Chain A
Amino acid sequence: MENIQIALLNDSFIINRGLQFIFNKIKGIHLSPICTQWSELENILDKQTIDIILINNHTFITDSNVSKAYKTLPNIRWAILEVEDIEINSLFNFEFKISIYDNELYLINKLNTFVENKTHLHNISSSIFELSEREKEILRQVALGLTNSEIADKLFISQHTVITHRKNITSKLGIKTISGLTVYALLNDFINMDDVNELK
């Protein structure tokens, strides 16, 4: 799993340096870029993939550019840095909230838990429903009509491994027959019609 890329938007240089110090201790998060103004961050958004914008609650409420961005950037999620004692409407959705008054241990725990949950969720979605690269390779061979032993020879793995992969493929896709897997592979461009015709 790649690092979660978090951009920081907060106007205090000192606080930003402090946050950078703390975030450096968290595995799985990369805090960059660090900006003090929205216009600065806006330029970077086009060029760099950013998962989450961590923004102070004062700016979030008062800067109209930010509220517009909240509505219009579909792939970006938000997190709040509490610098002032103000409430934000609960309809806004945040990944996490931290406060400049949180102590170090508390912050580290909170961020570690956040990363763990994210990584975990990511793994579940890809391992339960999506095929791994290896499984796609096996599927391709099955769809082309190769037997388990032929696949094993071709990919230098044991037949037992091939069977395990095939079981996983079937349970992920819910497709049981070879013809069904072939149609699936064609529909999703894992193989093309020419490959199939060549066989006949």
Chain B
Amino acid sequence: MIRSNIKMADVIIQNHHLLAIINRFGIKLGFGEQTVAEVCSSYNIPVEFFLEIVNAFNDPDFFPKKNMYSFPLSLIIDYLFKAHDYYINVKVPEIKGLIEKVTKTKDIKTQKAVLLIQAFFNEYADQLKKHIKREEEKVYPYILELENVFDSKEQNKINEFKSKYNFRIDDYAIEHEDIEEKLYDIKNLIIKYISPKDNYIIYFKILGQLAHLEEDINDHSEMENKVLIPRVRIMEKAIYN
């Protein structure tokens, strides 16, 4: 369990995948002997929020504490936005590049298989992009406005909000699953049915990157399913009753 009084450097040394997470907070390397609390305060990040995020990522069984419910949703959504950016602009291109490399093999049989995987991954990437676009353009603005209206407690604002949206959070909650399953299938197909004659190391890298992306996206949907959506439901219930 990561706490506020340990050194930030030790956090990263313990699990280097957290680099991707601190990057989302805008934290740069070179923190010397500073503790987690000190680093967070110099970047103006609420340390409690930071700890919830890194611990949730670090330990799959970690369940966000009650105080996750006290942070403004805008803070969480800001984090989710940055995670999206990382998937679309860093991870996906990285994996695409690696797959492109192995399509250049001279072994026809492997090439045929790799091209299928490539098509599958591209399909996945397109779907992920669409899903993210929908969240960013439709779902997140809805949540942010809902939070505003809810906090204002002004009846006329609430009425205006109600007439503007015919959308509820549960309409969107189910859609996640298929995306995670596709990523799992791609990994599974590579491990089981591609027997490369060359470029072994690149295949290992592809699998490593896929697993990394999968882990990150699972964490991302946990955040949405365990924190974001329950809180939105509570606000919706208050407003529509």
Partner of A179, one of B113, B185, B188: B185
Partner of A187, one of B113, B181, B184: B113
Main DSSP-derived SS at the B contact region? helix
Residue B182 is within 8 A (CB to CB) of chain A in the complex: yes
- In A140-195, the 8 Å CB interface with B consists of 174-177, 179-180, 183-184, 186-188
Partner of B193, one of A176, A179, A188: A188
- In B163-193, the 8 Å CB interface with A consists of 178, 181-182, 184-186, 188-189, 192-193
Query: Looking at the complex, which of B116-124, B128-136, B148-156 is the stretch in contact with chain A?
Result: B116-124
**Is B184 a contact of A176 with CB atoms below 8 Å?**
yes
With A and B bound together, what is the CA distance between A177 and B124 in angstroms? 11
With A and B bound together, what is the CA distance between A176 and B116 in angstroms? 17
Task: From known contacts A174-B188, A184-B189, infer whether A179 and B120 are also in contact, taking CB-CB under 8 Å.
Answer: yes
With A and B bound together, what is the CA distance between A174 and B119 in angstroms? 20
Q: How many A-B residue pairs have CB under 8 A?
A: 38
Identity of the chain A residue whose Cβ is nearest the Cβ of B123 in the assembled complex: A179
Number of residues from A at the complex interface, CB < 8 A: 11
**Is B113 a contact of A177 with CB atoms below 8 Å?**
no
**Is B185 a contact of A180 with CB atoms below 8 Å?**
yes
Partner of B188, one of A175, A186, A188: A175
Minimum C-beta distance from A78 to chain B (A): 31
| Chain B 77-106: CB-based contact to A (< 8 A → 1; otherwise 0) | 000000000000000000000000000000
**Is A175 a contact of B193 with CB atoms below 8 Å?**
no
**Is B181 a contact of A177 with CB atoms below 8 Å?**
yes
Find the residue from A175, A176, A179 having the highest chain B CB count within 10 A.
A179
With A and B bound together, what is the CA distance between A175 and B191 in angstroms? 12
**Is A177 a contact of B178 with CB atoms below 8 Å?**
yes
Identity of the chain A residue whose Cβ is nearest the Cβ of B194 in the assembled complex: A187
Minimum C-beta distance from B203 to chain A (A): 15
**Is B116 a contact of A183 with CB atoms below 8 Å?**
yes
Partner of A176, one of B119, B120, B123, B185: B185
With A and B bound together, what is the CA distance between A174 and B188 in angstroms? 8
With A and B bound together, what is the CA distance between A175 and B124 in angstroms? 15
With A and B bound together, what is the CA distance between A176 and B179 in angstroms? 11
**Is A183 a contact of B117 with CB atoms below 8 Å?**
yes
With A and B bound together, what is the CA distance between A180 and B188 in angstroms? 9
**Is A175 a contact of B116 with CB atoms below 8 Å?**
no
Binding site for B on A (CB under 8 A): 174-177, 179-180, 183-184, 186-188
Binding site for A on B (CB under 8 A): 113, 116-117, 119-120, 123-124, 178, 181-182, 184-186, 188-189, 192-193
* A-B residue pairs, 7 tightest by C-beta: A180-B185, A176-B181, A187-B193, A183-B116, A177-B181, A177-B182, A183-B120
Cβ contacts A to B, 11 pairs, < 8 Å = A174-B188, A175-B185, A176-B181, A177-B185, A179-B120, A180-B185, A183-B117, A183-B120, A183-B185, A183-B189, A188-B193
Apart from A175-B185, A177-B178, A177-B185, 7 more pairs, CB < 8 Å: A174-B192, A176-B181, A183-B119, A183-B120, A183-B189, A184-B193, A187-B113
